[in-house]
Amino acid sequence: MDKLTGAVERITFYNPENGYTVLRLRPEVRGRQRLPGLSRDGLITVVGNLPEVSPGEHLKLDGLWDTHPKHGKQFKAEICTQVLPSTVAGMASYLG
């Protein structure tokens, strides 16, 4: 299983009945780490049944990379852990 950590940039879709979510994540990149689904805007599409999250929240995700025939490379999250921000900038973003 692959791991991904980052801040939620925006929620594209959320189904409150089953938690299915499509979101855009700004990943934390360590060193020269290359991420397969990184778009030109520096974001990754994450899909899966997730707890309700908001833009600015920090997430730790476990899952697998997948290529959707229409939407391209995306991270299918199987495990999601919400992490409180540890910096002033992160807290300001989280609080809006």
Half-sphere exposure of residue 95: CA atoms within 13 angstroms, side-chain side? 7
Amino acid at 74: Q
Which is more confident, 84 or 28?
28
Considering the four listed CATH numbers 3.40.50.300, 1.20.1250.20, 2.40.50.140, 1.25.40.10, the one that applies to the domain covering 2-95 is 2.40.50.140
Percent of the chain whose predicted confidence (pLDDT) is above 90? 69
Query: Tens digit of pLDDT for each residue in 31-78?
Result: 667 788 888 898 999 999 999 999 989 999 999 999 999 989 999 999
* In the predicted structure, residue 28 carries a pLDDT above the cut 80: yes
Position 87 scores a pLDDT of 72
Q: Give CA torsion, residues 61, 91, 25, 13, to 10 deg.
A: 100
Other CB atoms within a 10 A radius of the CB of residue 93 amount to: 18
Backbone angles phi, psi at 8, to 5 degrees: -70, 125
Position 23 scores a pLDDT of 98
Q: Where are the domains of the chain?
A: 2-95
